[in-house]
Amino acid sequence: MSNPDTSTAATATTAAAASNRKDGALVSNSLPAELQHLVVTGKLADNERIKGDSERLRGTISADLGDDLTGGFSADNFQLIRFHGMYQQDDRDIRAERTEQKLEPLHTVMLRARLPGGVISPKQWLAIDDFARDSTHAGSIRLTTRQTFQFHGVLKRDIKSMHQMLNRIGIDSIATAGDVNRNVLCTANPEQSQLHSQAYEWAKKISEHLLPHTRAYAEVWLDGEKVESSKAEEEPILGSNYLPRKFKTTVVVPPHNDVDLHANDLNFVAIAEGDSLIGFNVLVGGGLAMTHGDHATYPRTADELGFVPLADTLTVAAAVVSTQRDLGNRVNRKNAKTKYTIDRIGLPQFKAEVERRAGLHFDAVRPYVLTGRGDSFGWTAGIDGKHNLTLFIENGRVFDFIDKPLKSGMAAIAKIHHGEFRLTANQNLIIAGVASDDKATIDALARQHGLIDDGHSNQRKSAMACVSLPTCPLAMAEAERVLPAHVDRLEGLLSKHGIPDEAIIFRVTGCPNGCGRAMLAEVGLVGKGPGRYNLHLGGNVNGTRIPKLYRENLDEDSLFAELDGLLQRWVTERRGDERFGDFVVRVGVVAPVLVPKQDFYA
């Protein structure tokens, strides 16, 4: 199945041109001749061959499924299953032991569902709760930093039935991973106001609009009818080779930036008149990942393109995606995301190309203010006289812990709740649309199962970590598993300095990919090696400033010793209620990260 065009010395220009040839709908939008020199040329990344040869993401996944000799997927399919929302993993805690026993790693898959805006019904929850109990090694439902849930540890034999179960309850996992637009985030809880509801509808529409058109998912997992020739399936927005890299989108309802827009390629910031949504400010080019020691990689905040009225939303979304599709770097995946495309070609050029493709001009950005990112825990009033209950779920891990049967508690609530559940981008969960008559029962169930715990400090509720070990193959240091103990130590320091009720946005991420969004924290720990972290300081409360590297490769004791000293300074030198992140920047502990963005490490 090798495609000579992409497997050898073909250039990215060839790939872009081929993509335009195959997808008729793109011809009118193809890269104009005067921009061709901006395409990065050279030997294409191998992922381009994999995508190009995959018969629209089918590969030989079906054949692999029938191979009982291994629990894993073969070379290219290992990558291709990502476009179907799955990653092949193994339990790293027992990897060495299995190698010693001459066994292959215990291969399983992690599945990530597509839930635009994080909305899930109690009926759906009960089905995923059953599956997590019966068919996953982890036995948990893991809420993610992108408003959805993951199953960890699904054996090959259960993968197909998992997709069929999801399909029966109206959920899929299409495009939640891979080089496509991923789950679209939206400021949590559409039942908070009419404006939230309207914004959520757009998150759903954008998600649907940018989905791959291939029928591969239905065909492979749902025994859907086979398409005669995959060549006939056009991908008018994503192109035949899909995007150069993953792509992330949000819809934000100011002043709340709970989705952390600056971690995303494309953002729609809701602009309202009264309670009515009239359009969006569009921001592009955010992203947090970097590679230790590689200064050509860096976190970057998003830039404003301008305002568009509602009617142009989908056109602009497609234009941004296709601009990145045609101009993104397909040679070096480390520099392939939109943030690097913009820094390479310049924002004015990127904007002009988006405008050309969309056939419009952006208006000036409308005023908006972002004030914070945390979830508001406990009961709040919703629309139509209903109530919402936001639960703090440490690490997003819904599991029956010995002292806290969170998973059983959620299932008990799901059985009687008539509203919806909403997942937040902070790995928490909202029981939304609770009728007054059900409020006391739900409150009691939540308390009985440890889902409401008045003992949690403000600090604990402001902390977040990525999954990391044992499932993440890229983890360099622990994150989720050490977060509770790290927070204990931080709480201890806050008490020592007489400020036990203060909270610092504290995030731990097991490697510089930054899934726990440490690079938008006031204090961010980035895994460097077992028990060792880089300490970044100086993010702000609304998530518009990237923290700067302060100390490298610290063990945990040194890390907390550093924080101890800095907290001491904060309590003595602080101005009014100045936040820790602002303080360390003001007094020069770290310098703020300013443009030009490439100078992040300078």
CB of residue 443 to ligand SRM, shortest distance in Å: 27
CB of residue 341 to ligand SF4, shortest distance in Å: 22
CB nearer ligand SRM, residue 2 or residue 291: 291
Q: Look up 186 and say whether it is catalytic.
A: no
Binding to ligand SRM by residue 246, rule CB under 6 A?
yes
Q: Any long-range contacts for 442-446 (C-beta under 8 Å, 24+ apart)?
A: 442/389, 442/413, 442/416, 442/417, 443/379, 443/389, 445/409, 445/412, 445/413, 445/416, 446/389, 446/391, 446/409, 446/413
CB of residue 203 to ligand SRM, shortest distance in Å: 14
Q: Rounded to an integer, what distance in angstroms lies between the CA atom of residue 428 and that of residue 194?
A: 22
CB of residue 478 to ligand SF4, shortest distance in Å: 9
Q: For residue 533, what is the enclosing H or E element?
A: strand 532-537
CB nearer ligand SRM, residue 145 or residue 281: 145
DSSP codes of every residue in 190-227: TTS-HHHHHHHHHHHHHHHHTS----HHHHHHS-PPPP
Residues 360 to 419: which contact ligand SRM by CB under 6 A?
Answer: none
For the four alpha carbons of 142, 545, 177 and 277, in that order, the dihedral sign comes to positive
56, 82, 182, 407: which is the annotated catalytic residue? 182
From 8-16, 325-333, 343-351, 462-470, span contacting ligand SF4 (CB under 6 A) = 462-470
Binding to ligand SRM by residue 337, rule CB under 6 A?
yes
Q: Is residue 53 within 8 Å of residue 80, measured between CB atoms?
A: no
Q: Look up 511 and say whether it is catalytic.
A: yes
Q: Rounded to an integer, what distance in angstroms lies between the CA atom of residue 35 and that of residue 322?
A: 14
58, 422, 515, 545: which is the annotated catalytic residue? 515
58, 248, 325, 339: which is the annotated catalytic residue? 248
Q: Is residue 494 within 8 Å of residue 500, measured between CB atoms?
A: yes
Q: Rounded to an integer, what distance in angstroms lies between the CA atom of residue 271 and that of residue 255?
A: 11
Residues 210, 284, 288, 410: which binds ligand SRM (CB under 6 A)? 288
51, 56, 215, 246: which is the annotated catalytic residue? 246
Amino acid sitting at position 190: P
CB nearer ligand SRM, residue 176 or residue 198: 176
- What values do phi and psi take at 173, rounded to 5? -125, 25
511 binds, among ligand SRM, ligand SF4, none (CB under 5 to 8 A by kind): ligand SF4
CB nearer ligand SF4, residue 152 or residue 373: 152
Residue recorded with tokens 């990558």: 79
Residues 503 to 542: which contact ligand SF4 by CB under 6 A?
Answer: 509-511, 513-515
339, 466, 528, 545: which is the annotated catalytic residue? 466
Q: Rounded to an integer, what distance in angstroms lies between the CA atom of residue 237 and that of residue 131?
A: 34
CA dihedral 489, 493, 494, 500 (to 10 degrees): 70
Q: Look up 472 and say whether it is catalytic.
A: yes
Give start and end residues of each alpha helix (H) in 136-269. Answer: 156-168, 194-209, 216-221
CB of residue 92 to ligand SRM, shortest distance in Å: 10
Binding to ligand SF4 by residue 108, rule CB under 6 A?
no
In the complex, which residues of this chain contact ligand SF4 (CB under 6 A)? Answer: 466-468, 472, 474-475, 479, 509-511, 513-515
Tell me which residues are annotated as active site. Answer: 112, 182, 246, 248, 466, 472, 511, 515
